[in-house]
Structure 1
Amino acid sequence: MRVSICAVGRCRTGPEKALLDDYATRFDRTGRALGLGPLSITEVEDRKGGGMAGEAALLSRALPDKAHVIALDERGKLMTSPAFAELIARLRDDGTSDLAFVIGGADGIAPDLRARTDGALSFGKMVWPHMLARVMLTEQLYRAASILAGSPYHRA
Structure 2
Amino acid sequence: MNIKVIVVGKLKEKYLKQGITEYAKRLSKFCNFEIIEVNDEQAPEKLSIAEMEQVKVVEGDRILLKIKDKEYVFVLAIKGKERTSEEFATELNKLTVYGTSDITFVIGGSLGVSKKVMERANSEISFGRFTLPHQLMRLVLTEQIYRSFMINIGSPYHK
Deviations 1:3-50 (A, max 9, x none): 000010111251111111111111222x2xxxxx11111000045765
- State the match for 1:95 in structure 2: 99
- State the match for 1:62 in structure 2: 66
Residue type of the alignment partner of 1:40: E
Q: Of residues 128, 132, 142 in structure 1, which corresponds to 2:132? A: 128
- 120 and 148 in structure 1: CA distance in 2 versus 1, 3 angstrom threshold: same
Deviations 1:62-113 (A, max 9, x none): 1233100000000001000011000000000000020000000000111221
Question: For structure 2, which runs of at least 5 residues remain unmatched after alignment?
Answer: 44-53
Contact 1:64-1:98 within 8 A present in 2 as well: no
State yes or no: 1:140 paired with 2:134.
no
Equivalent-residue separation in structure 2 for 1:41 and 1:52 (angstroms): 20
Bigger Cα displacement from structure 2, 87-96 vs 111-120: 111-120
State the superposition RMSD in angstroms.
1.4
| Identity within the alignment, % | 36
State yes or no: 1:150 paired with 2:154.
yes
- State the match for 2:111 in structure 1: 107
- State the match for 1:116 in structure 2: 120
Contact 2:78-2:128 within 8 A present in 1 as well: yes
- State the match for 2:15 in structure 1: 15
Bigger Cα displacement from structure 2, 75-84 vs 7-16: 7-16
Equivalent-residue separation in structure 2 for 1:69 and 1:9 (angstroms): 19
Q: CA deviation at 1:149?
A: 1.4
Contact 2:41-2:59 within 8 A present in 1 as well: no
State yes or no: 1:81 paired with 2:75.
no
- State the match for 2:25 in structure 1: 25
Alignment of 1:34-73 (within 5 A): 37-46=31-40, 51-73=55-77
TM-score, structure 2 as length reference: 0.89
- State the match for 1:34 in structure 2: none
Contact 1:64-1:100 within 8 A present in 2 as well: no
